[in-house]
């Protein structure tokens, strides 16, 4: 049956979110780093649990200018109810594979770095239409970051901007960028092994929700825009 495409009015939302996490890093040999990170996120103005990430990362620093690595994340999401679940909230499990490379240069006490990150996220549920949502969802994420290190203080402020470029999409969506993140943060080195990080991030996402009405022979596309204000607190320990 031929399908007609209809565009609904844009939906937008703004809310405050929270991210907290802990990272444990071990360096068995020079240049090689192994890390395990646990991260929890809250949404809906800090009132609703959003998701939990368990990530194992391995990276190798070739020299002071370049490092590369890979990671695996196990993701647990708390989803709002929908028609297929009789509008009962449910838990959603996903797997993510990541490859990343970072180049950096230092001048005076500044460090400028560029990170390219490929990620593929695999859904495990069956509560989606393959024509509406791609699985796995693949991104190329580009992050530019500028850090400053004080000479006599254990503080390292930074700013960064990150672009999310979707690499695979449905036949009804075609976007070059669908999310931008702007971050202002501070790393506080407590001692040689322990670090605290605090940041504020403005997250601007803009995409399209695709709803295929098979019986009615039409596709409804709803532009969705989010403006999220995110506070983050992370603890790191290095061995």
- Render each residue's pLDDT in the chain as its tens digit; 239 residues: 557 888 898 899 999 999 999 999 999 999 999 999 999 999 999 999 999 999 999 999 999 999 999 999 999 999 998 878 888 999 999 999 999 999 999 999 999 999 999 999 999 988 888 888 999 999 999 999 999 999 889 999 999 999 999 999 988 888 899 999 999 999 999 999 999 999 999 999 998 888 888 767 789 999 999 999 999 999 999 98
Contact 64, 73 (CB under 8 A): no
- 136 burial class (0-12, 13-18, 19+ CB within 10 angstroms)? middle
What total number of domains does the chain contain?
Answer: 1
The domain that holds 34 is classified in CATH as 2.40.160.40
Q: Give the predicted TM-score (pTM) of the model.
A: 0.93
The beta strands (E) that lie in the chain are given as 4-7, 11-26, 32-43, 48-61, 66-79, 90-107, 110-123, 137-148, 155-166, 179-189, 194-213, 218-238
Q: Return the pLDDT at 152.
A: 86
Q: Return the pLDDT at 45.
A: 96
Contact 135, 157 (CB under 8 A): no
């Amino acid at each position: 049956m031929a399908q007609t495409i209809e565009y609904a009015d844009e939906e937008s939302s703004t809310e405050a979110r929270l991210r907290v996490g802990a990272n444990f890093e071990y360096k068995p040999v020079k240049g090689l780093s192994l890390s395990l990170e646990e991260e929890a996120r809250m949404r809906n103005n800090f009132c609703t649990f959003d998701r939990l990430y368990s990530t194992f990362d391995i990276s190798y620093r070739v020299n002071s200018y370049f490092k590369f690595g890979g990671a695996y994340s196990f993701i647990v999401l708390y989803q709002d109810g929908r028609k297929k679940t009789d509008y009962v909230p449910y838990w959603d499990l996903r797997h993510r594979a990541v490859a990343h490379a970072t180049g950096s240069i230092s001048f005076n006490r500044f460090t400028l770095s560029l990170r390219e990150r490929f990620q593929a996220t695999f859904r495990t549920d069956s509560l989606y239409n393959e024509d509406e949502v791609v699985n796995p969802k693949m991104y190329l994420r580009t992050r530019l970051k500028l850090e400053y290190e004080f000479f006599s203080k254990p503080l390292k402020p930074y700013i960064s901007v990150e672009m999310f470029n979707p690499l695979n999409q449905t036949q009804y969506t075609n976007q070059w960028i669908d999310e931008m993140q702007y971050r202002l943060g501070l790393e506080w080195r407590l001692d040689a092994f322990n670090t605290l990080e605090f940041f504020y991030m403005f997250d601007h996402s803009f995409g399209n929700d695709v709803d295929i009405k098979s019986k009615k022979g039409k596709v409804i596309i709803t532009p969705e825009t989010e403006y999220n204000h995110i506070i983050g607190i992370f603890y790191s320990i290095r061995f």
